Chain A
Amino acid sequence: MYPRPIPATAPARRGLYIGLVSLVLLLWLLPLFTVMVTSLRSFEEVMAGNYWGWPKSFNLIENYTAVFTQTAMAHYFVNSLVITLPSVVGVLVLSTLTGYVLSRHRFPGANLIFALFVGGNFLPAQIMMIPVRDLMVELGLYDTYAALIIFHVAFQTGFATLFMRNFIAALPDELFQAARSEGASPGQTLVHVVLPLVRPALAALAILTFTFVWNDYFWAIVLTQSDAVKPVTAGLSNLRGEYVSAWNLVSAATVIVAVPPVLMFFLMQRHFIAGLTVGAVKG
């Protein structure tokens, strides 16, 4: 272990260490804590400028009910789900196929295709913005869920292909040799050998993709216009303009946007970390 572990036999040093770590953690998350606390404050308190003190009254139910009933936040939230979930499924399907072929079949141009998938994933979104927007307008998909879903599936497939290719390439070679010697077709190999073994990778990929797509802001404002299809990120940005001084409501909305990815992260933390560090690139 590095650094050297603080031994359990030195309680004073351990206590000091825990105290220090707690202090740093408190400072690290202070901005977030205050937003959470402010989402409980009353409007009067926010107007009086009590941002950082202990709240005088707790308005959890009032504030969150207000966000869901007085603003379009509930609608944005549903939109985000409608966009994110199909995108995740699409990415998993496509990248399992591309990752399998790129890792287990040799053909001319394979390296080039792989490099394009990986390299394309690093491109700044703005370089493709104008043609993608134009394409969606031409297809009549501008300002629909489909525009965002198609784009996200396409873009995330780059990172996901890298991820799945590496995972499938690391599977034991004997399995594939055995499948071949028994005369299994590529399709049968995919279904009976690859699929049962890639489940952990798919779990990691699903949560990463979910987070990337849910948190997207740029494409949300480029490809959508109306409240009917806008996801939470763009919705929150709008809301902030409309409710300039009602920081308690904006804070509650901020918390609502943050809950799904944070929840996913805590439920599947092991997968999330494994995914980030194996692929080691972020979409």
Chain B
Amino acid sequence: MSRLWRRHSNWLAPTLFILPGIVLFGVVIIFASLQTIWVSFHEWDGVGAMVWVGLDNYRQLIDDPQFFVSLKNNVIWLVMFMAAPPLGLALALMLNQPIAGMRIVKSLFFIPLVLASVTVGVVFTWVYDPSFGLLALIFTAFGATASALLSDENFVTVAVVIAALWPQIAFCLVLFLAGLNNLNEELIGAGRVDGARGFAMLWNVILPQLREVSFIALAVTVIGALRSFDMVAVMTSGGPFGSSTVLAYQMYEQSIFSYRFGYGAAIATVLFVIMAGFIVWYLHTLLKVEEGNA
């Protein structure tokens, strides 16, 4: 045994090392994700036998107005979330000063990032409270009456996204501050000698150097927008009248509350296809950068 082990340990040991990680991740994450696609071709209440229905669930999706509400809201999330990278960059530019005490100030700005989304949701539900919330207070100061944002079908998604932007901007801020710390001093110096100032300096000298960081900020923002679930669940439960659902939430609701696991799986598969397109683009760019570095 021990001789056998010694002769083969050069490949056997690494295989044994990597195996637990691969098996666990493979079964619980990768295989489960693929299984969902399989479930989406069935009708299933989550307990009994699965009945093959082919593309029925997808046909129903196309006729389901709620599905298009979710899809529309996902687009709103995506579009509004695009504000996070520029705002994060703006904050980073404001905070990147070598003055005593700025370290503490920066870390205070990072706090929303480490809060649970449930915490953020509870905090903002309260900001939006129509009788005594911060928003109501501001409206009253101007002599207007605040509408109950979270029970207004037209504004509810926008209100939830604004709350979700809070930690997302903080995340982009962290990334851009790191980027600003890695700038090439010589290029900046040369730019200053050439008389580049203000916006021209930012656009022509600084931003090209932040390309990698911006790419990452954009990627995490897109993923964050498509993943949105917690805030919707905590702040509105998809309401009022299903007007604030997103694909992730509708899928959860259909499966857990309505016991339509096949239908839920079909919604999850649609979300997966949207995400997969994005992931492929991300990995492609990432690997290209790695090759460029090697």
Contacts and interface: CB of A to CB of B under 8 A. Distances in A.
A218 B229 contact: yes
Given A32-B123, A119-B283, A273-B178, A130 B227 contact: no
Interface in A224-238: 232-234, 236-237
Nearest to B182: A277
Interface stretch (A1-9, A56-64, A66-74, A198-206): A1-9
Given A130-B36, A277-B174, A186 B9 contact: yes
A158 B114 CA distance: 20
Given A101-B18, A126-B271, 10 more contacts: A3-B97, A31-B134, A32-B123, A51-B129, A51-B133, A100-B17, A113-B18, A124-B229, A158-B29, A161-B21
Interface in B89-110: 91, 93-99, 105, 107-110
A40 B240 CA distance: 32
B271 A124 contact: yes
Contact of B275 (A124, A233, A273): A124
B48 interface: no
Interface string B262-288: 001101110110010011001100110
17 contacts: A2-B183, A6-B99, A21-B95, A28-B108, A35-B123, A100-B17, A101-B18, A107-B14, A123-B29, A123-B33, A123-B279, A124-B275, A126-B268, A127-B268, A217-B230, A269-B110, A282-B224
Query: Which among A49, A121, A128, A155 has the highest number of chain B CB atoms within 10 Å?
Result: A128
Interface of B: 9-11, 13-14, 17-18, 20-22, 24-33, 35-36, 39, 46, 91, 93-99, 105, 107-112, 114-119, 122-127, 129, 131-134, 137, 166, 171, 174-175, 178, 180, 183, 185, 188, 201, 206, 216, 219-220, 223-224, 226-227, 229-230, 233-234, 247-248, 251-252, 255-256, 261, 264-265, 267-269, 271-272, 275, 278-279, 282-283, 286-287
A154 B29 contact: yes
Nearest to B131: A49
Interface string A19-50: 01100110011111011000000000000010
Contact of A282 (B10, B27, B171, B178): B171
A124 B230 CA distance: 12
Given A17-B97, A236-B119, A280-B220, A122 B282 contact: yes
A249 B227 CA distance: 30
A130 B9 contact: no
B114 A211 contact: yes
A187 B16 CA distance: 10
B17 A190 contact: yes
Contact of A131 (B35, B98, B112, B256): B35
B21 A98 contact: yes
A181 interface: no
Contacts of A272: 114
Contact of B118 (A115, A118, A120, A217): A217
A258 B174 contact: no
Contacts of A125: 227, 229, 248
Contacts, number: 281
A151 B94 CA distance: 40
Contacts of A54: none
Contacts of B255: 129-130
A24 B41 CA distance: 52
A123 B10 CA distance: 34
A128 B27 CA distance: 10
A120 B25 contact: yes
Contact of B188 (A2, A105, A117): A2
Given A2-B183, A25-B105, A185 B9 contact: yes
Contacts of A282: 171, 220, 223-224
Contacts of B226: 124
Contact of B96 (A1, A31, A126, A215): A1
A130 B24 contact: no
Given A131-B39, A280-B216, A120 B29 contact: yes
> Which 7 residue pairs are nearest across A and B when measured between Cβ atoms?
A215-B116, A154-B28, A131-B32, A98-B21, A128-B32, A186-B13, A131-B35
B30 A116 contact: yes
Nearest to A247: B126
A119 B272 CA distance: 12
B20 A126 contact: no
A95 interface: yes
B219 A127 contact: no
Given A94-B21, A122-B223, A185-B9, A266 B107 contact: yes
Contacts of A83: none
Contacts of A262: 111, 114-115
A173 to B, nearest CB: 13
A14 interface: yes
A20 B95 CA distance: 11
Nearest to B187: A2
Nearest to B19: A97
Nearest to B192: A4
A193 interface: no
